[in-house]
Copies of this chain bind each other. A is one copy, B any other.
Amino acid sequence: MLVIISRDDLADRQGVVFMSQGRPDHSMQDSQHISSAFAQDLSDLRMDLVRLSMLATRQLSASLRAMSDFQSGQIDQLIQQDAELDKLQELIDEKVISIITMRAPRADNLRLVITAARIASDLERIGDYARNIAKRTSAVMNDNAEINLPWDRLIEIGTLVTGMIDDVVDAYQQGDIDAAQAIRNSDIHVDKLNTSFIQETIDLMESNKLSAIVGTHLIFMSKNLERIGDYTTSIAEQVHFIVTGEALGGTRPKADKSSQIS
């Protein structure tokens, strides 16, 4: 991040800034000379997002752990913790409005601020899906603790997705567009695992080896993990946009065929 103590900083202290209102000239396109207070705001915003990503992955990891080591108290705790994510997302939203109002960011700084709200929304929804997975695990475990269910398959998809979230947060912090592209491409593995898991679960239900109620919960858990992969891909696309100012081109590789199973 280029930080130059500019005339903006001096103007800041006087509460007045002189700002060009026309199209930004070329030198403004890629980086804006910003005050140290403004740089601190941006740095804080990035840290808030990283913290939100840690809360989201904590929720996801806890929901996966419940599949192999179920304790109902743990699930209750996980459900309660969701409020922390909601609160932090609201805080990020407020900061975005405040930074735009107070600092008039431009070019790459504006992209960083605008996308912060979107990434926060994606992370909050990842947390929601993790909570939903935990609720379903709880519903299944409470009634069917003795049955041998394909938890390992769900944990496999969940572990893959957790790794993608970790990678996308690294890519965000490093501004690494190659990593962002790789994460977007890797979502196809999640789609494939999800489609085959759903297909096999339906087969087990058809042959009465699995009840409709348990099968439905398992299918939704897999689908939730696939949705978490989609949100992670969306974050990867935001990283590309922050760095380049362009939408990540090309058709996103997709292999979620679960809506066409017949």
Q: Is the CB of A12 within 8 A of B16?
A: no
Q: Is the CB of A19 within 8 A of B19?
A: yes
Q: Is the CB of B219 within 8 A of A216?
A: yes
Given the interface contacts A110-B100, A212-B202, A259-B132, does A16 sit within 8 Å of B20 by beta carbon? yes
The answer, yes or no, to whether A198 is at the interface (CB within 8 Å) is yes
The answer, yes or no, to whether A58 is at the interface (CB within 8 Å) is no
The answer, yes or no, to whether A189 is at the interface (CB within 8 Å) is no
For window 106-158 of A, CB contacts with B under 8 Å fall at 106-107, 110-111, 114, 117-118, 121, 132, 135-136, 139-140, 142-143
Given the interface contacts A139-B261, A212-B215, does A114 sit within 8 Å of B97 by beta carbon? yes
Interface stretch of the complex, out of A21-29, A160-168, A176-184:
A21-29
Residues in B whose Cβ lies below 8 Å from that of A21: 11-12, 15-17, 102, 104
CB distance from A88 to the nearest CB of B (A): 14
Q: How far is the CA of A202 from the CA of B215 in the complex (A)?
A: 10
For window 12-45 of A, CB contacts with B under 8 Å fall at 12, 15-24
Residues in B whose Cβ lies below 8 Å from that of A24: 101
On chain A, which size bracket covers the interface? 35 or more
Q: Is the CB of B139 within 8 A of A259?
A: yes
Residues in B whose Cβ lies below 8 Å from that of A100: 100, 110, 114
The answer, yes or no, to whether A4 is at the interface (CB within 8 Å) is no
Q: How far is the CA of A117 from the CA of B238 in the complex (A)?
A: 13
Interface flags for A172-202 (1: CB within 8 Å of B; 0: not) read 0000000000000000000000000010001
The answer, yes or no, to whether A68 is at the interface (CB within 8 Å) is no
Residues in B whose Cβ lies below 8 Å from that of A261: 139, 213, 216-217
Residues in B whose Cβ lies below 8 Å from that of A217: 259, 261
Q: How far is the CA of A223 from the CA of B11 in the complex (A)?
A: 53
Q: How far is the CA of A118 from the CA of B114 in the complex (A)?
A: 11
Residues in B whose Cβ lies below 8 Å from that of A22: 15, 102
CB distance from A17 to the nearest CB of B (A): 4
Q: How far is the CA of A97 from the CA of B118 in the complex (A)?
A: 13
16 contacts between A and B (CB under 8 A): A17-B21, A18-B18, A19-B19, A19-B104, A21-B102, A24-B101, A100-B100, A118-B121, A132-B259, A136-B259, A139-B261, A206-B212, A212-B212, A215-B216, A216-B216, A217-B261
Given contacts A100-B114, A117-B118, 5 further A-B contacts (CB under 8 A): A19-B104, A22-B102, A23-B102, A136-B259, A212-B215
